[in-house]
Amino acid sequence: MNKKLKAVIIGPGNIGTDLLMKMQRSEWIEPVWMVGIDPESEGLKRAAEMGIKTCSTGVDGVLENIIADDVRVAFDATSAYVHAENSRKLNELGVIMVDLTPAAVGPFCVPPVNLTDHARNLEMNVNMVTCGGQATIPMIAAVSRVQPVAYGEIVATVSSRSVGPGTRQNIDEFTRTTAGAVEKVGGAKEGKAIIIINPAEPPLMMRDTIHCLTEGEPDQTAITESIHAMVKDVQKYVPGYTLVNGPIFDGNKVSCYMQVEGLGDFLPKYAGNLDIMTAAALRTAEMFAEEAADGTITLPARG
């Protein structure tokens, strides 16, 4: 029996295409459909050339094929505005939704921190937070699992070329959502997020800085060990995730300086911010597939 879960990708843009390329290497997820809204879109043409079925009439156009093609998981790389409806329609058919938009209908998912819990609970909609969140929250969690974090702050610096119009039009959503997830997933009592867009050419790699204020004096040995272990966990799905400097201890402050280099599938290597989103989303679906294959969870029944 084929253990792979079949998938639909909604949104044939840069993110959707990068996701498709990563998915074609996956042992657990098999891309079947790419859904868009413009029959002329480059992304749909690319997907067709890569041997994927395409649908240019939105999610409604693919619904009748979901059961027939045994699609079990969906990736939404469209926008927060349409996500809730996409999710509702697909959840009704028993499809697990991995949300790469900032809609945050379902709980935040940062794979090395809380993916196992979401998979075991068979959450039907998980949200991938933001690129800055994926790159930094593991580090906040690495500190907070050692000792309480009173305040967690992240600074994400991304190249201008890697920031699309959606993020630009609603940059507050990035800061709010990321700060919220620094608290909810990272475990900091208060969270703060900053995003800086840098137009330098050639484009710079994504850089992320994480500061935590611990309650009480930081346990330097335990925190350092925890951070290095967490970096290794993230590297399993984003090999270019690197601790450039740190952890640096200054009083109760713990600081880490990260760089995120992408795999360069469809998106250039400097766009580690986009790569870490697609890689984390795929890792999320793979975990559901692994848990289903070994019988830990049971996917929604189908006739």
Partner 1 sequence: MNLNGKKVTLHDMSLRDGMHAKRHQISLDEMVSISTAMDEAGMPLIEVTHGDGLGGRSLNYGFPAHSDEEYLRAVVPKMKNARISALLLPGIGTVDHLKMAKDCGVSTIRVATHCTEADVSEQHIGMASKMEMDTVGFLMMAHMVSPEKILEQAKLMVGYGANCIYATDSAGYMLPDDVTAHIGLLRAELPSNIEIGFHGHHNLGMGIANSLAAIEAGASRIDGSVAGLGAGAGNTPLEVFCAVLDRMGVETGVDLYKIMDVAEDLVVPMMDQPIRVDRNALTLGYAGVYSSFLLFAERAEKKYGISARDILVELGRRGTVGGQEDMIEDLALTMAKEKGLI
Catalytic residues: 131
Q: Of 251 and 303, which CB lies nearer to partner 1 in the complex structure? A: 251
Query: Residue 45, interface with partner 1 (CB under 8 A)?
Result: no
Nearest alpha carbon to residue 22 among 260, 206, 262, 294: 262
Residues 198, 224, 235, 242: which binds partner 1 (CB under 8 A)?
198
Q: Are 181 and 108 in contact (CB under 8 A)?
A: yes
Whether 125 has a binding-site annotation, put simply, is no
Distance of alpha carbon 278 from alpha carbon 16, whole angstroms? 8
The span of 141-149, 199-207, 221-229, 264-272 binding partner 1 (CB under 8 A) equals 199-207
Q: Are 204 and 157 in contact (CB under 8 A)?
A: yes
For Cα atoms 57, 106, 4, give the angle at the middle one, nearest 5 degrees: 65
Q: Of 50 and 197, which CB lies nearer to partner 1 in the complex structure? A: 197
> CB of 129: closest distance to partner 1 in angstroms?
17
Contact positions with partner 1 (CB under 8 A) in 200-239: 200-201, 204, 207, 209, 211, 213
Distance of alpha carbon 163 from alpha carbon 219, whole angstroms? 37
Contact positions with partner 1 (CB under 8 A) in 153-182: 153, 155, 157, 160, 165, 168-172, 174-176
Q: Are 192 and 178 in contact (CB under 8 A)?
A: no
Query: Residue 253, interface with partner 1 (CB under 8 A)?
Result: yes
Residues 23, 142, 195, 223: which binds partner 1 (CB under 8 A)?
195
Q: Of 57 and 160, which CB lies nearer to partner 1 in the complex structure? A: 160
Contact positions with partner 1 (CB under 8 A) in 255-284: 255, 257
Q: Which helix (H) or strand (E) element contains residue 168?
A: helix 165-169
**Size (the chain), residues:** 303
In terms of Cβ atoms closer than 10 Å to its own Cβ (0-12, 13-18, 19+), residue 221 is: exposed
Number of residues that bind partner 1 (CB under 8 A): 35
Q: Of 32 and 143, which CB lies nearer to partner 1 in the complex structure? A: 143
> CB of 5: closest distance to partner 1 in angstroms?
37
Neighbours of 4 (CB within 10 A): 17
Q: Of 109 and 204, which CB lies nearer to partner 1 in the complex structure? A: 204
Stretch 126-155: interaction string toward partner 1, x if CB under 8 A:
-------------------------x-x-x
Nearest alpha carbon to residue 280 among 181, 154, 200: 181
Query: Residue 244, interface with partner 1 (CB under 8 A)?
Result: yes
Q: Of 20 and 129, which CB lies nearer to partner 1 in the complex structure? A: 129
For Cα atoms 56, 103, 37, give the angle at the middle one, nearest 5 degrees: 10
Q: Which helix (H) or strand (E) element contains residue 160?
A: none
Nearest alpha carbon to residue 226 among 134, 144, 142: 142
Residue ranges that bind partner 1, judged by CB under 8 A: 151, 153, 155, 157, 160, 165, 168-172, 174-176, 192, 194-201, 204, 207, 209, 211, 213, 244-246, 248, 253, 255, 257
Binding positions for NAD(+) are 162-170, 273
